[in-house]
Amino acid sequence: MTYSNLTIEQRDAVIQITVQRPDKLNALNLDTLIELGDAVEDATSDDSLRALIITGAGEKAFVAGADIAEINALNPLQARDFSELGQQLMRQIENCGKPVIAAVNGFALGGGMELALACHIRIASDNARLGLPEITLGLLPGFGGTQRLLRMLGRSRAMQLILSGQPIDAATAEHWGLLAHVYSTQELSDQAWTLAHKLAASAPIAMRSIIEAVQNGQDMSLEAALNMETQLFALCCSSEDMREGTSAFLNKRKPKFNGS
Ligand code: COA
Protein residues with CB under 6 Å of any ligand 1 atom: 24-25, 27, 64-69, 107, 109-111, 133-134, 137
Mean pLDDT of 213-239: 96
Q: How much is the pLDDT for 84?
A: 98
Residues 228, 189 share a domain: no
Sequence-ordered strand ranges (E) for the chain: 6-11, 14-19, 51-56, 61-63, 100-104, 107-109, 121-125, 129-131, 168-169, 181-183
Residues 91, 12 share a domain: yes
The per-residue pLDDT of the chain, averaged, comes to: 97
Residues 139, 32 share a domain: yes
Residues 225, 154 share a domain: no
Query: Distance from the CA of 135 to the center of ligand 1, in angstroms?
Result: 15
> Counting atoms of ligand 1 from 1, which one is nearest the CA of 60?
29
Residues 136, 98 share a domain: yes
Residues 235, 179 share a domain: no
**Percent residues over pLDDT 70 in the chain:** 100
Q: What is the CATH number of the domain that holds 105?
A: 3.90.226.10
Any idea what the Cα angle at residue 33 is, between residues 139 and 94, rounded to 5°? Answer: 90
Q: Is the pLDDT of residue 241 over 90?
A: yes
Residues 55, 181 share a domain: yes
- Using the 3D structure, point to which of 169, 185, 200 is the last residue of a domain: 200
3-state helix, strand, coil in the chain (%, to 5): 55, 15, 30
Atom 26, ligand 1: residue with shortest CA distance: 24
Q: How much is the pLDDT for 59?
A: 87
> Counting atoms of ligand 1 from 1, which one is nearest the CA of 68?
1
Q: How much is the pLDDT for 173?
A: 98
In-domain check, residue 255 = no
Query: Distance from the CA of 14 to the center of ligand 1, in angstroms?
Result: 30
Q: Which one of 25, 83, 130 would you pick to mutate in the ligand 1 pocket, going by the greatest count of ligand atoms within 8 A of its CB?
A: 25
Residues 231, 184 share a domain: no
> What would the pLDDT profile of 65-101 be if each residue is shown by its tens digit?
999 999 999 999 999 999 999 999 999 999 999 999 9
Residues 89, 56 share a domain: yes
Residues 97, 109 share a domain: yes
Q: How much is the pLDDT for 196?
A: 98
In-domain check, residue 215 = yes
Atom 14, ligand 1: residue with shortest CA distance: 24
In-domain check, residue 21 = yes
- In terms of DSSP bridges, do strands 14-19 and 6-11 run parallel, antiparallel, or are they unpaired? antiparallel
Q: How much is the pLDDT for 1?
A: 80
Identify the band that residue 102 occupies on the pLDDT scale cut at 50, 70 and 90. very high
Residues 141, 66 share a domain: yes
In-domain check, residue 257 = no
**Which residues have CB under 8 Å from 129's CB, separation 6+?**
106, 107, 108, 109, 167, 168, 169, 170
In-domain check, residue 69 = yes
- Using the 3D structure, point to which of 200, 219, 242 is the last residue of a domain: 200
Domain region containing 74: 6-200
Q: How much is the pLDDT for 194?
A: 98
> What would the pLDDT profile of 14-68 be if each residue is shown by its tens digit?
999 999 999 999 999 999 999 999 999 999 999 999 999 999 999 899 999 999 9
The domain total for the chain is: 2
Q: Which one of 5, 63, 68 would you pick to mutate in the ligand 1 pocket, going by the greatest count of ligand atoms within 8 A of its CB?
A: 68
Atom 32, ligand 1: residue with shortest CA distance: 64
